[in-house]
Amino acid sequence: MNLIKLLKYSNPLFNKMIAKYFARETGYPKSFSKAYYAVLNHLMNCYKARQPVILTHHPSPVEIINSFNAISFIADSFSAMLAGNKMDEELIRSAERIGAPRGACSFQKSIIGLQALGLLPRISALTFLSTNQCDSPKKVFEHLSSDVPGFFIDAPYSMNGAGINYMTSQLNEFIKFLEMITGRGFNKKGLNSEIDKTNACIKSLYSLINTRKHDLIPVKPLTMYRAYFSVIGYQGSPGLIKEFLDEFTMTIKKRQEEGMGENKSRLALLQLPPFYPSKVFNVLEENDCAVVWDELPLMDYELSGHGVRGLAKKYLSSIYNKPLDERIKIIIKNVKEFRVDGVIYFSQTGCRQSNASVSAIKNALINEGIPMLILDIDCLDKESAQQGQIVTRLESFMEMLK
């Protein structure tokens, strides 16, 4: 678990060196090293535990946590980062050794593995916001909360007045919970300032996403994906992440003006592709495909109004909180706007939310004349996938799109 040891014993100077090295390797604009430095510092601070550490999961009201000067350890983002560094398998196998089923969600098994191996940071409290399509994290958090106090936020199904009132009252209770955990009073101005910072970052993200409406896409699919997931999961320093998103957007626009980025097919990706090194992105690149739309950034990247009620509306409007019909409408709308030729759906092992919606989404796309390839995959657990079969199916799909 080299990365965790690194985080435990590192310091800001060391993180700066790593971030610079990584930025050079990836070829991103200069500000990527600042954004990655912010991510490493955020994680390092979780392990140093100088501030109260709140274990949480996407989507969660990090704006409230930040306003208490507490720090959020976002478990699923961390699992994805570990998988990118080939470290998740050890955690997943550890969780299975103590009884987690083979077919259960790997994000949750990674968290159980971190706890089993004593590799979680020292947690002051945990919180989880339910989505209406997944209760796996709730079960894991119940298991973990035997040791630390926990607060469960139960998102209602409807975004009507009653739903928003119910969500607002729970976020107010969550604020009281954090007052107790941190010993600090709630600062409304501080919350609004956190909301402003996150909103500014989200607007920049949408500018980056919109560069892909252009005919020319001068960014390789993996480059775009790495950029999203290296920095977006961590909302600890949105200011620094924003700078990178803006610079990356400008770089892409400049390349487009210079006529770079012709591609044969335009793809949308639904759900999560593998975070570990796999041949998926190689096949897309070899076939000159551009990925022009992904569903995942919509999970918790809605803009928020000020105050607790503003946040309640934001978290209720997450794509995974809505009825499936609404999610399908959003997918169809974007597939049209971004002029998508074909869709790849990564159906995640052990994920009801991912598996149960496949047929309905595929049928809706077929009605619009858009083909969809379903790949059964576990985006964290390399052992679960038959790479050869995935490559063959991807190549046939690419051939069909030409």
Question: Please, are residues 41 and 11 in contact by the beta-carbon 8 Å criterion?
Answer: no
The CB-of-265 to ligand SF4 minimum distance in angstroms stands at 27
Residue closer to ligand SF4 by CB (options 137, 342) is 137
Residue closer to ligand SF4 by CB (options 219, 296) is 296
Question: Please, are residues 321 and 129 in contact by the beta-carbon 8 Å criterion?
Answer: no
The CB-of-189 to ligand SF4 minimum distance in angstroms stands at 34
Question: Please, are residues 123 and 73 in contact by the beta-carbon 8 Å criterion?
Answer: yes
The CB-of-139 to ligand SF4 minimum distance in angstroms stands at 10
Residue closer to ligand SF4 by CB (options 136, 193) is 136
Residue closer to ligand SF4 by CB (options 136, 158) is 136
Residue nearest ligand SF4, CB atom distance: 351
User: What three-state secondary structure class fits 270?
Assistant: strand
Please return the burial class of 100, using the count of CB atoms within 10 Å of its CB with bins 0-12, 13-18 and 19+.
Answer: buried
The CB-of-45 to ligand SF4 minimum distance in angstroms stands at 25
> Can you give the C-alpha Rg of the chain in angstroms?
20
Cα separation, 275 vs 297, in Å, equals 15
Cα separation, 91 vs 177, in Å, equals 30
Residue closer to ligand SF4 by CB (options 6, 299) is 299
Q: Which residues bind ligand SF4 (CB under 6 A)?
A: 105, 107-108, 134, 136-137, 348, 351, 353-354
The CB-of-140 to ligand SF4 minimum distance in angstroms stands at 9
Sequence-ordered list of residues with C-beta below 8 angstroms from that of 299, at least 6 positions apart, any chain: 58, 59, 318, 319, 320
The CB-of-101 to ligand SF4 minimum distance in angstroms stands at 12
Residue closer to ligand SF4 by CB (options 242, 322) is 322
Cα separation, 164 vs 334, in Å, equals 26
